[in-house]
Structure formats: C-alpha cells, structure tokens
Structure 1
Amino acid sequence: MAKKRKKRKEIKRKLLHKYRLVILNESTFEEKISFKLSRLNVFVTGSLLMIALIGLTILLIAFTPLREYIPGYSSTRLKKQATELTYKTDSLVRTLNYTNKYLDNIRMVLKGDIENNEVNRDSLFQQFKIDPASIDLTPTRQDSILRAEVALEDKYNLFERNTDKKSMVLFPPITGSVTMAFDAEQKHYAVDVVAPMDTPVKAAANGTVIFSEWTAETGYVIILEHEDGLLTVYKHNGSLAKSQGDVVRGGEVIASVGNTGEFSTGPHLHFELWDNGNPINPLDFIDFN
C-alpha cells in the first residue's frame, strides 16, 4: 500500500511540476516571452485544441461545399440535378408513350385498319346482366313520348341524346354523287363523293390539322382533329391548302378535289369519319347532295 501511495504521489508531482518556457533573443539573450507550464496544463490544452479542431472540421464538412472534395461525399447540387432529371425522364417517357399511341391511331386511320381486340368488353359485365324475362318491358306513356321525340329528331345530329358528348354540326366537305358508301364488311370506312377536278374541299367542323402529307396509296391526305376525339379524313386530294398544326374553321377550304394515289379511280373525295378510333358512317351525319 505504501508503495502504491508513493507511486501516486510521484505521478501527481510530475503532472503538477512547474516548468518555464522562455523565448529569448538569439543575439542578446534577452527574454521576450515566458510561460509557466506543467504536464497537466499541456495535456489539457492539447486535448481541448484537438477537440476544437475536430469540431471545426465536422462543421466545415457538414455546412460548407468543402465536403464535396472528400471521397465518398456527393454534391447536393448534383443530387438535386439527378432528381430533377429523373422526374423529367419519367415525364418524357410518359409523353413518348402517349405520342406513340397517338401516332398508332393516326396510322390506323391512314391505312383504314381496325385492330381486333381479343378482350370483349361486354364479357367483362356478363355476370351483371339482368335476365330480360324478369323485367316488365311494357313501354310506359313517358317512354312512348320519348321514342316519338327521338324519331322526329334530325338524322344529321352528330351524336345521340344518350351520349355525354357535346353536339357538333358537321358541314359537307363537298357536294356531289356518292359512288361508294360506307361498308364496314368490305373495310371501306368512308364515302367516295364524285366532284369536278379542283373543287374546293372544306373542313367538316372546327379543328386542327394533325396530318397534311402525300402518301403513295391515297395521294394528298389531310386529317383534322376535332373536339371529343372526332377525326375527319380527306384523301385523294389534288392539292392541300393547310399544313400540320393549322387551326381551321368549319366550312374553310383545306384542299381541292383530285385524282392522286394508287387507289384513286378518278376525281373524287374519299371522306372518313372516326370517333375515338372507331369508324362511323358519314352519311348518318352529313348530306353530300
């Protein structure tokens, strides 16, 4: 015990033993600065300086751009740019997919093709169908009045009353004789109207030109997009008066009757009417006579 006590006193004495640090002028040996130090003071002061240095380094790394120069740390600005580019890329992909679908619809209209859908939408609701035998189908007085009103309506209204589309008036693009009517079974989704060469072709309704080019099979073609997903197509024109992106009014001249394209057999207008990707008979809505 005495040895341990003596050893502790010796360590304490060494730690608290005073030393004098003197800075002298080398030429004159004049004392400039002197410090009274002990081992304990040097240890405590050195420890505090190290802690302060470590803290300052951490602050510099955490709150200044200097951390970007340390391997393993990435720039906040670069992270932000990467995030923005990710969002932009996602938006571009969505826009590109939408554009591709839109172009596929235009291609389908140009070729007059209707893709077969393997899924029958009616079959999805088969389980919810009601057996007509369980319902009294005797028409009421109100139903008879409504049927009479519908029967007296103008047949050239574009959409029926039971649809949610806005009513739209369609102008005849040209007047003339219909030489070939709409025939879905023969895949002739249009009406062919004979007219003299260079007869002005007019827009059937207000819309925007989404296609105005030459095609080998159908010559000069112009397609207008109208509201509610309606498209009007004009083929075999002799010339085009509007370009893609132009906004036209109903009745405005957009082309002239011609005899262009491999499938043309004489001066006429091949006119198609499409509703949300489905061909409909123009004669149900337009009188060409």
Structure 2
Amino acid sequence: MAKKVKKRKEIKQKLLHKYRLVILNESTFEEKISFKLSRMNVFVTGSLFIIGLIGFTILLIAFTPLREYIPGYSSTKLKRQATELTYRTDSLVATLNYTNRYLDNIRKVLRGDIENNEINRDSLFDQYKLDPSTIDLTPIREDSLLREQVALEDKYNLFERNINNPGQVLFSPLSGTISQEFNTENKHFAVDVVAPMDSPIKAVANGTVIFAEWTAETGYVIILEHMDGLLSVYKHNGSLNKAQGDVVRSGEVIASAGNTGELTTGPHLHFELWSNGSPIDPLNFIDFK
C-alpha cells in the first residue's frame, strides 16, 4: 500500500515538476525568451490545441467549398443540378410518350388501320337494365323548359355555331359524285368523291397542316388537325398548296384533285375524318353535292 502511495506521489511530482525553456542568442548566449513549463501544462495545452485544430478543420470543410474535394461528397450545387435534370428527364419522357402516341395515330390514319375492340353488348345491357315500373316518368316543369330550350337550339344550331365558333361546321372539301362510301367491313374508312382533274380541294374547317407529303400508295396526301381531336385526310391529290405547319382557314384551297398513287383508278378525292384516333363517316357531317 505504501509503495502505491509513493508511486502516485512520484507520478504527480513528475507531472507538476517545473521545467524552464530558454531561447538563447547563439553568438552571445544572451537569454531572449524563457518559459516555465510542466508536463501537465504541456499535456493540457497540446490537447486543447489538437481539439481546436480538429474543430477548425471541421468548420472549414463544412462551410467552405473545400468539402467538394472530399471523395464521395456531392455539393449542394451538384444536387440541385441533378434534381433539375431529373425533372427535365421526366418531362422529356412524358413529351416523348405523347409524341409517340401522336405519331402512332398519324401512322394509323395513313395506313387506315383501327383497333378492333370487342365488347359484349348483352353484358352491358344487363348491367344497366332498368325496370320502367320503378321509375317515375311524370314530366316536371324543369324537364318541359329543357325540352323547349333544346328544340330552340336545334332550330338555330347551324347558324349559332357558324357565328360563335367558326370552323365547327364542316365545309365541303369538294363537290362531286360519290363513287364509294364509308364502309368499316371493307376497311374503307373514307368516301371517294369523283371530280374533274385539278378541281380545288378545300379545308373542311380551321386547322393546322400536320402532314403534307408524297406516299407511294396514296400519292400526294395532306392531313389537317382541327380542334377537339378531329383530323381530316385528303389523299390522291394532284398537287398540294400547303406545307406542314401551315395554318389554314375553313374553305381555303389546300390541294387540287388528281390521280396520284398506286391505289387509284381515276381523278378523285379520297377523304377521311378521324376523331380521337377513330374513323367516322364523313357523310354524317358533310354534303358533297
């Protein structure tokens, strides 16, 4: 026990023992600076210096651009740029998908292909079948007023449409004799209108030219895009008066009748109407006489 106490005292004395650090002039041995130190002072001072140096280094790296030189560390600027690039990539992907769908619709119009979606009509009728005995069919005042309003609108519908929203009433592209009508069974999604060579072909409504090129099967073809997803297609033209990107008005001459392409037997216009990717019968909307 006494040995341990003695040993502790010796260690304490060594730690607290004073030493003098003297800086002398080498030539004259004149004392310039002197320090009184102990091992404890040196240990404490060195520890504080190391801790301060570590703290300063951390602050220097955390709040200065030096941190960007540390392997594996990404700067805030790079993170922001990566985020912006991610958003732009998503936007480009969405735009690309929309463009691909749009081009698929154009190809489908040019080829005359449609998807055959089979629907079980009986199952639909059974699903929404109603029992008339459970419904009160007595007309109410609001129903009578609505009927009168609809009848009035139907009476003047053509004129109101033409004044308030020009381009909705479809203009006849060409006057002539119809040689072949719209027939989905034969996959003839158009009407063929026979007309003299170089007869002017007009736009059925306001729109933009989205295709105006030559094709081997249908000759000179021009396609107009109208509002509400409506496309009008004009094939076998003798010449085209408009180019892709041109804006046309209803009734404006866009081409001339011809006999171009492999799938033709004489001067005529092969006219198609497509609504949201599906063909519709032009005779339901246009009088070609």
What amino acid does structure 2 have at the position aligned with 1:219? Answer: G
- TM-score, normalisation: structure 2: 0.85
The alpha-carbon distance between structure 1 residues 127 and 197, as it changes in their structure 2 partners (threshold 3 A), is: same
Structure-2 residue corresponding to 1:282 = 282
Q: Contact between 1:202 and 1:251, CA under 8 Å: does it hold in 2?
A: yes
Structure-2 residue corresponding to 1:100 = 100
Q: Contact between 2:167 and 2:205, CA under 8 Å: does it hold in 1?
A: no
**Equivalent residue of 1:168, what SS?**
coil
Quote the sequence identity (%): 71
User: 1:61 Cα shift?
Assistant: 2.2
Q: Contact between 2:167 and 2:250, CA under 8 Å: does it hold in 1?
A: no
The alpha-carbon distance between structure 1 residues 56 and 138, as it changes in their structure 2 partners (threshold 3 A), is: closer
- TM-score, normalisation: structure 1: 0.85
What amino acid does structure 1 have at the position aligned with 2:3? Answer: K
The alpha-carbon distance between structure 1 residues 130 and 83, as it changes in their structure 2 partners (threshold 3 A), is: same
Structure-2 residue corresponding to 1:31 = 31
* Structure 2: 5+ residue stretches without partners: none
Q: Deviations over 1:117-144 (max 9, x none)?
A: 25x386886674123554569796949x
Range with greater deviation from structure 2 (109-118 or 39-48):
109-118
1:196 matches 2:202: no
* Structure 1: 5+ residue stretches without partners: 160-164
Structure-2 residue corresponding to 1:259 = 259
Counterparts of 2:170 and 2:73 in 1: how far apart (Å)?
65
Structure-2 residue corresponding to 1:49 = 49
Q: Deviations over 1:112-168 (max 9, x none)?
A: 1111125x386886674123554569796949x67x949x758989x9xxxxx9981
Q: Contact between 1:209 and 1:224, CA under 8 Å: does it hold in 2?
A: yes
1:231 matches 2:231: yes
Q: Contact between 1:155 and 1:284, CA under 8 Å: does it hold in 2?
A: no
Q: Contact between 2:167 and 2:206, CA under 8 Å: does it hold in 1?
A: no
Range with greater deviation from structure 2 (42-51 or 61-70):
61-70
Counterparts of 1:24 and 1:125 in 2: how far apart (Å)?
109
User: 1:47 Cα shift?
Assistant: 0.3
Aligned CA RMSD, in angstroms, stands at 3.2
The alpha-carbon distance between structure 1 residues 263 and 26, as it changes in their structure 2 partners (threshold 3 A), is: same
Q: Deviations over 1:38-85 (max 9, x none)?
A: 111111110011101111121122222222222232333333322222
Q: Deviations over 1:202-227 (max 9, x none)?
A: 11111111111111111111111111
Structure-1 residue corresponding to 2:171 = 171
